[in-house]
């Protein structure tokens, strides 16, 4: 029996070696003195592999064991590294183009539960009233504790028009909530814009996708054409923007900054992970793409500007806010951002699979690491719907299990604070949310007449114009 297990273990060790070779670990190979393979740890792995193959209650394929091992290696590192099977890899590629199927929520894993980072605007989850920080404990009748993040995401995807019931724990509610959602093809409109009133423009970026920079340039050009007279102020809304493509965030920053301005730089162990991205076409355009920022109105670079952020502003949106803040190009207003200051590289493998691996931390032009800290607004303006809620209810990168640390110390107490004079009391959450349910909480539409933070930004812009006039 023992010899059989050892034989299976040796086969497992061979499989592991094959996986290591196929991954082509160039970062190790390029070192002058390559680190030796951890033979003792691999021996333990092979013993476990052999025991599972020989003694597990049901037969298990080699493919499943190796896949689960790779998944465990990556998910054990940090909340954002992951193994992408063929379906997940395809969904990731489609998602960056702005159209994909599902419920419309950015999720991560915490204590074995699926945690909502941010609902995507205009999605089924958004309209149902799901919030950042919600913990999904059950999908239909399946407990999430028994699933990996990839398995949970697969269950949430499905044929448009089909329904799924999500059971959710929300910290400020005594009982679990249930949401009955209808899956849909999620078409994310990356850039939305309008003139709030003559001389004052509003642009919202919901997510940084493949064509966000181009769409932003079109929106800015149209707004300046629509406005009769000089533009007096611009509000860039990045609230609940979960991030997206790095080069698109560089493009958005470059639209408002002088040419050659540093937007962001990254630091990692691999030399290829060290980058300095500036406001030049080579750092935001794809291959032979024409420079869509070239013919923007000159006033875009100088118009008084406010950027709105909140706890749902993450990753790429924090790059933009940090760059505009460090260059003193805009006043940052709202609440502290999510704090995702790490870069994930998608490294394709064979069989149309890939790994999403955290390879670097990014830094603002002034040298600030945002990881687990976020961007602290110049002026703190609370959303009236959440101003009375305990700060511990707000989920950020630092709350995620195994998050990367930040060795830098940030003073998060600076900045003026503006609070609503008559905040609305938080609505009591119902225990059940069905489609068309009259008890469903009211959802704030960013940019609407009820948008308190937007009105505060507009008031500040008008005050800035008065001071400039004097």
Which residues are known catalytic residues? 315, 326, 340
Contacts of residue 30, defined as CB under 8 A and 6 or more positions apart, other chains included, come to: none
- Look at strands 177-182 and 432-433 and give their pairing: parallel
SS (H, E, C) 90-110: HHHHHHCCCEEEECCEEEEEE
Contacts of residue 249, defined as CB under 8 A and 6 or more positions apart, other chains included, come to: 208, 243, 263, 264, 316, 317, 319, 320
d(C-alpha 250, C-alpha 260), whole Å: 11
**Helix H or strand E segment including 295:** none
Contacts of residue 310, defined as CB under 8 A and 6 or more positions apart, other chains included, come to: 239, 240, 334, 335, 337, 383, 453
d(C-alpha 139, C-alpha 1), whole Å: 42
DSSP for 371-424, please give it: TTT-PPPSEEE--TTTTTS-GGGS--GGGSTTPPP--S----S-SEEE--SSPP
At 46, list the tokens: 């092979």
- CA nearest to 48, candidates 1, 13, 83, 19: 13
d(C-alpha 103, C-alpha 124), whole Å: 5
For tokens 């809620």, the residue is 389
Residue 40's CB: how many other CB atoms inside 10 A?
Answer: 8
d(C-alpha 185, C-alpha 198), whole Å: 36
**C-alpha distances in Å from residue 301, one per residue of 163, 194, 408:** 47, 19, 31
d(C-alpha 259, C-alpha 97), whole Å: 27
């Amino acid at each position: 029996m023992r010899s059989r297990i050892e034989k299976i273990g040796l086969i497992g060790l061979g499989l592991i070696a094959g996986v290591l070779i196929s991954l082509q670990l160039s970062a190790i190979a390029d070192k002058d003195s390559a680190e030796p393979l951890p033979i003792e740890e691999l021996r333990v792995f092979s013993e476990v592999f052999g025991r599972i193959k020989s003694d597990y209650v049901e037969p298990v394929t080699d493919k499943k064991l190796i896949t689960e091992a790779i998944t465990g290696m990556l998910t054990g590192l940090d909340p954002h590294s992951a193994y992408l099977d063929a379906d997940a890899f395809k969904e990731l590629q489609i998602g960056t183009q702005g159209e994909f199927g599902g419920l419309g929520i950015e999720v991560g894993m915490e204590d074995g539960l699926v945690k909502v980072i941010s609902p995507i605007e205009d999605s089924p989850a958004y309209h149902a009233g799901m919030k950042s920080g919600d913990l999904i404990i059950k999908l239909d009748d399946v407990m999430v504790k028994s699933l990996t993040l990839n398995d949970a995401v697969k269950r949430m995807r499905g044929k448009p028009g089909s329904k799924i019931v999500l059971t959710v724990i929300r910290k400020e509610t005594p009982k679990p909530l249930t949401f009955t959602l209808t899956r849909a093809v999620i078409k994310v409109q990356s850039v939305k814009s309008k003139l709030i009133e003559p001389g004052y423009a509003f642009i919202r970026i919901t997510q940084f996708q493949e064509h966000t920079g181009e769409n932003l340039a079109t929106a800015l050009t149209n707004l300046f054409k629509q406005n009769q007279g000089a533009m007096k102020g611009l509000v860039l809304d990045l609230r609940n923007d979960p991030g997206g493509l790095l080069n698109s965030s560089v493009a958005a920053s470059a639209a408002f900054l002088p040419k050659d301005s540093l937007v962001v730089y990254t630091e990692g162990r691999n030399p290829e992970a060290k980058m300095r991205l500036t406001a030049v076409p080579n750092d935001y355009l794809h291959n032979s793409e024409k420079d869509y920022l070239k013919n923007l109105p000159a006033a875009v670079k100088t118009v008084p500007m406010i950027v709105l952020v909140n706890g749902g502003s993450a990753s790429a949106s924090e790059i933009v806010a940090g760059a505009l803040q460090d260059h003193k190009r805009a006043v940052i207003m709202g609440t502290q951002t999510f704090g995702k200051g790490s870069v994930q590289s998608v490294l394709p493998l064979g069989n149309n699979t890939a790994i999403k691996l955290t390879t670097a931390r990014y830094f603002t032009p002034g040298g600030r690491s945002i990881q687990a800290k976020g961007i602290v607004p110049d002026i703190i303006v609370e959303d009236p719907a959440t101003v009375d809620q305990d700060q511990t209810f707000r989920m950020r990168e630092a709350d995620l299990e195994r998050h990367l640390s930040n060795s830098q110390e940030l003073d998060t107490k600076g900045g003026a604070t503006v609070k609503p004079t008559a905040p609305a009391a938080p609505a009591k959450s119902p225990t059940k949310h069905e489609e068309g349910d009259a008890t469903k909480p009211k959802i704030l539409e960013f940019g609407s007449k009820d948008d308190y933070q937007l009105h505060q930004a507009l008031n500040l812009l008008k005050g800035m114009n008065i001071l400039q006039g004097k």
